[in-house]
A and B are shown apart, each in its own frame.
Chain A
Amino acid sequence: MTVTPSRRTFLAGAAAALTIPLARPAVSQTLPPQAPELERWPDAFLQIDTDGRVTCVLPTCEMGQGTHTGQAMILAEELGADWQSIQIVMPQQPSDPYRLPFGQMRSVGSYGIRFFHDPMRRSAAQMRMMLTQAAATQLGVPKYDLVARDGMIMHADTNRAIPFADLVPAARLLPVPAEPKLRPEAERTLTGTNVPRLDTPAKTRGEAVYAIDVSLPDMAYAAPRMAPVFSAEVEAMDEASVIDMPGVLAVVPVPRGAVVVADSWWQARQAADALDITFTATEHDALDEATLNARIAEGLDRAGVPMTLQRGDPLGTLDAAETVIEADYQVPMLAHACMEPITCTAQATEGRTELWAGTQGHDWKRMMLERELGIPSDELFINTTYLGGGFGRKTWHHDAAQAILASRALGGRPVKVIWSREDDTRFGMYRQTMQARFRGSVDAEGRITAMTVRVAGPQMGAAIVQENNMDPFSLLGLVDQPYAVPNYAVDHAVVDIPVPLSAWRAIATSFTGYWMESFIDELAEAAGMDPLAFRLLNLPSDSRARPVLERAAEMADWNDPAPDSVHRGISVVGSYGSMVAQVAEVTMAGDRVTVPRVFAAIDCGRAIHPGQVETQIQGSVIDALGPTLRAKITLQDGAAVQSNYTDYPLIRIDEAPEVAVAIVETGAPLGGVGEPGVPPLAGAVCNAVFAATGRRIRSLPLSDHGLA
């Protein structure tokens, strides 16, 4: 339970060089005291220091989604800790209690609260019961007369209280309760409230330490120079071309290029730009946006594609239908464009490789670095900093590998690699570009009679593909769409593209939600029905989509005529265990679409922190609006065209809609919050654009159509 030697070592050594002390409470860059001893003490998620300080050991990183505060609330409430004294650390090495259902410690899938809620409550309840038992023995009173609150076990009748710290030595010798008794709902007074985020003070004073801020004694800085065409390798490199430039220490070959190491990052950057380096020709050197799109479009007509989902007789029903609505949809590649670019600091010494990283992918880094650099898992230690955004990009290991190789080349000096904004934008791990062909029919009453969806494009989740060619990274949002469609089919014609891809916030549903909700509007139009009424008619009576749709519509006064010049679109998408409906209001300034207001309703089960649910949904809407209006990644000569926020434009405050958020609690299980606000937005906006212009927007962004 005490602070361990390794933690002390870190604080005495490396942290002394941190120029900005971490504010309390904040994310510590230290590690939890020891590997969890679940057999002896339920301390995977909680440590009680000898001075009484309660430390939450959290399995997911803090990249803005607020999970650290939410998880700490769950733990502190169940334990009865003093909220003001809560500390947070993350483990330096992954282990089972911190792993997600698929067996990895990663901060993905909007899992932070919904997956860890129950195990955290159980652990905290076990610890509380053991502390209570120890107090009962010490005070000579029945344990049922004791309460755990504010970091103490209290006996109200005799007005006595014992701090947790004093009970730890006795409590830890007690058996761990196999069936911990959770606090009743009436005692859950912290979750469900808007306590201030733990990280806000540090983040408003410039004190929060992100990966790019890490400072270690004798640290050098590195900037990469990488092949612009993704599959190219280094053909020739002349180290002498830059080695005499000011501050340059070394030029280190790395996969796909080199990193230049120098005394300062600016010197490294200048030299990386000046480096005389050539790359191999590849078969993709002529690839551009049009050829890539044409290659994927071939998949729309392909025969012999395995059926992923089929019910009823969709093809027969469509053949017999009087009218079949058919539409092809497309989305481009997207960059994550985290405001903190890709960066990692490494120190590689004999038998120990240490990283300082803002990472979403602890196990992924571990696995990839073992595979590519031969680093045994038990020799890799990851100090997790705050992340300046993640969005699915920061699971990867390439920056870590560069920093490790550079540190090795410098004999174990710590090296911080920073990718420039241009590197960050150009060197891939994009959201995939995908296309789809929808066909559907409705009957005279407006009921959907049949629908087929052919998806064409890369199979980003090839490694996790399930039976019947079911790739969750490509098809979620389609195979689980909420409407009652008696005759329905989904398949996926896989078209590989030579571009490195990565999960992008909401993954498949970031585009399938847009497609499905646009096509549903097309069917509503064909049925001559109001888009909301059409959805309600075609949703099962027990669908979770109904309450959120009805709430969002109510917030937007959907059933009243829109004011002059305001046009509305509606959309509902379920993802990551939650259901979100949105109504977007669009006004037109000439041909230019503006989105002044969005109304959103979310059912995420119980809201652990309603204020954070609200801000996540607001942020998701604004995040999704960027690629709806203008942002996309395209290729020219085999390389990405875009390079910075100037040509990858995201939403600024002057274009940000006012987003009203309602939380609808239906008694559903806990759902995710970080991602589910993204999928409905593009469909809601494009449906409003149809209301405004009569134009169906079947590919994004709107700027491609002269509308933004």
Chain B
Amino acid sequence: MTDFTLNGEAVTSDADPATPLLWVIRERFGLTGTKYGCGVGACGACTVHLNGQPVPSCALPLDAAADGEITTIEGLAPDGNHPVQQAWIEVDVPQCGYCQSGQIMATAAMIREVPDPTDADIDAYLSGNLCRCGVYNRIRAAAKRAAEIARS
């Protein structure tokens, strides 16, 4: 049994502790906003926050989340109106959208640490998040806009 907090709620999973957290979140708890992309932490589609830090949940065994606080895209903000989500809508970022939960979670973590990110900051914080549609021009604009909304 592994206990952790998922989007503010105490939960327990009886899955094998070696199971990647991603699959527990998706299949046991039905939160499918967090995506499977690569399984090796190379694409960022599965990014969640563990105790506030962005982590690839596909490469994180369940027991590494024990007693931790996990936040997924569904729990990022009430009503889905986090500054990053507001900015993403304003800039109309997604194409296929599959990577966007991960992009948004990574950006949310970035602007908490770097309130006014430069291009270099964005490169450093978001280069772990692959976008196969290549909407990086809009992600860059939206990340800056998100920081602006968060500062205001």
Among B27, B101, B128, the one with the most A-chain Cβ atoms within 10 Å of its Cβ is: B27
CB <8 Å contact, A653 and B16: no
| CA of A107 to CA of B151, assembled, Å | 42
CB <8 Å contact, B73 and A206: yes
Determine the residue in chain A with the shortest Cβ distance to B37.
A339
Chain A CB within 8 A of B57 CB: no
Q: Which of A206, A644, A656 contacts B137 (CB 8 A)?
A: A656
Contacts of B89 in A (CB 8 A): 196, 200-201, 204
CB <8 Å contact, B19 and A618: no
CB <8 Å contact, B96 and A19: no
A18 → chain B, closest Cβ, in Å?
A: 9
Chain B CB within 8 A of A71 CB: no
Chain A CB within 8 A of B67 CB: no
| CA of A611 to CA of B141, assembled, Å | 14
| Chain A proximity mask over B26-57: 1 for CB below 8 Å, otherwise 0 | 11101111111111101101000000000000
Determine the residue in chain A with the shortest Cβ distance to B23.
A266
Chain A CB within 8 A of B60 CB: no
Chain A CB within 8 A of B94 CB: yes
A205 → chain B, closest Cβ, in Å?
A: 4
| CA of A644 to CA of B37, assembled, Å | 10
* A66 touching B42 in the complex, CB below 8 Å, given contacts A200-B88, A204-B80, A206-B33: no
Q: Which of B39, B42, B93, B136 contacts A656 (CB 8 A)?
A: B136
CB <8 Å contact, A265 and B27: yes
Q: Which of A337, A388, A615 contacts B138 (CB 8 A)?
A: A615
| CA of A421 to CA of B40, assembled, Å | 9
CB <8 Å contact, B95 and A66: yes
Q: Which of A264, A391, A622, A654 contacts B123 (CB 8 A)?
A: A654
| CA of A405 to CA of B38, assembled, Å | 26
Chain A CB within 8 A of B112 CB: no
Q: Which of B39, B74, B96 contacts A387 (CB 8 A)?
A: B96
- Stretch of A209-217, A344-352, A443-451 on the interface side: A209-217
Contacts of A621 in B (CB 8 A): 134
Q: Which of B85, B135, B136 contacts A205 (CB 8 A)?
A: B85
Determine the residue in chain B with the shortest Cβ distance to A674.
B95
Q: Which of A19, A207, A418 contacts B30 (CB 8 A)?
A: A19
CB <8 Å contact, B132 and A204: no
Chain A CB within 8 A of B99 CB: yes
CB <8 Å contact, B42 and A207: no
Q: Which of A264, A388, A644, A654 contacts B127 (CB 8 A)?
A: A654
| CA of A421 to CA of B46, assembled, Å | 13
CB <8 Å contact, B45 and A339: yes
Contacts of B88 in A (CB 8 A): 200, 204
Contacts of B134 in A (CB 8 A): 618-623, 651, 656
CB <8 Å contact, A203 and B133: no
A408 → chain B, closest Cβ, in Å?
A: 23
Q: Which of B32, B38, B127, B137 contacts A645 (CB 8 A)?
A: B38
Q: Which of B39, B80, B98, B136 contacts A622 (CB 8 A)?
A: B136
| Chain B proximity mask over A511-547: 1 for CB below 8 Å, otherwise 0 | 0000000000000000000000000000000000000
* A266 touching B92 in the complex, CB below 8 Å, given contacts A207-B33, A215-B32, A622-B134: no
CB <8 Å contact, B34 and A388: no
For window 64-122 of B, CB contacts with A under 8 Å fall at 72-74, 80, 85, 88-89, 92-101, 104, 122
CB <8 Å contact, A197 and B94: yes
CB <8 Å contact, A339 and B30: no
Chain A CB within 8 A of B150 CB: no
Chain B CB within 8 A of A20 CB: yes
Contacts of A620 in B (CB 8 A): 134
Chain A CB within 8 A of B140 CB: yes
| Chain B proximity mask over A590-602: 1 for CB below 8 Å, otherwise 0 | 0000000000000
B54 → chain A, closest Cβ, in Å?
A: 14
Determine the residue in chain B with the shortest Cβ distance to A651.
B134
| Chain B proximity mask over A158-201: 1 for CB below 8 Å, otherwise 0 | 00000000000000000000000000000000000010110111
* A339 touching B35 in the complex, CB below 8 Å, given contacts A65-B95, A205-B80, A645-B130: yes
CB <8 Å contact, B80 and A388: no
* A206 touching B98 in the complex, CB below 8 Å, given contacts A266-B19, A645-B42, A656-B137: no
Q: Which of B33, B39, B96 contacts A386 (CB 8 A)?
A: B96
| CA of A176 to CA of B37, assembled, Å | 48
| CA of A213 to CA of B22, assembled, Å | 12
Q: Which of B16, B37, B100 contacts A421 (CB 8 A)?
A: B37
For window 246-270 of A, CB contacts with B under 8 Å fall at 246, 264-267
CB <8 Å contact, A388 and B35: yes
Determine the residue in chain B with the shortest Cβ distance to A416.
B27
| CA of A258 to CA of B100, assembled, Å | 33
CB <8 Å contact, B27 and A339: no
Contacts of A341 in B (CB 8 A): 36-37
CB <8 Å contact, B123 and A653: yes
Determine the residue in chain B with the shortest Cβ distance to A660.
B137
Chain A CB within 8 A of B126 CB: yes
Contacts of A646 in B (CB 8 A): 38, 40, 42
| CA of A579 to CA of B47, assembled, Å | 38
CB <8 Å contact, B42 and A64: no
Chain B CB within 8 A of A420 CB: yes
CB <8 Å contact, B74 and A653: no
| CA of A208 to CA of B135, assembled, Å | 18
Contacts of A267 in B (CB 8 A): 16
Chain A CB within 8 A of B139 CB: yes
| CA of A341 to CA of B73, assembled, Å | 20
B106 → chain A, closest Cβ, in Å?
A: 10
Chain B CB within 8 A of A507 CB: no
CB <8 Å contact, A389 and B80: no
| Chain B proximity mask over A545-572: 1 for CB below 8 Å, otherwise 0 | 0000000000000000000000000000
Chain B CB within 8 A of A658 CB: yes
| CA of A623 to CA of B134, assembled, Å | 6
CB <8 Å contact, B132 and A337: yes
Contacts of B80 in A (CB 8 A): 201, 204-205, 207
What would 21 A/B residue contacts be, using CB atoms closer than 8 Å?
A194-B92, A197-B92, A197-B94, A201-B89, A203-B94, A203-B100, A204-B100, A213-B32, A215-B32, A264-B19, A265-B27, A266-B16, A386-B96, A388-B96, A389-B98, A615-B137, A618-B137, A646-B40, A650-B132, A651-B134, A653-B127
The 9 closest A-B pairs by CB, nearest first: A206-B33, A622-B134, A388-B98, A19-B30, A64-B96, A203-B97, A64-B95, A206-B73, A205-B80
Interface residues in chain A, defined as those with a beta carbon under 8 Å from any beta carbon in chain B:
19-20, 63-66, 194, 196-197, 199-210, 212-213, 215, 221, 246, 264-267, 337-341, 386-391, 418, 420-422, 611, 615-616, 618-623, 644-646, 650-654, 656, 658-659
Interface residues in chain B, defined as those with a beta carbon under 8 Å from any beta carbon in chain A:
15-16, 19-20, 23, 26-28, 30-40, 42-43, 45, 72-74, 80, 85, 88-89, 92-101, 104, 122-124, 126-140
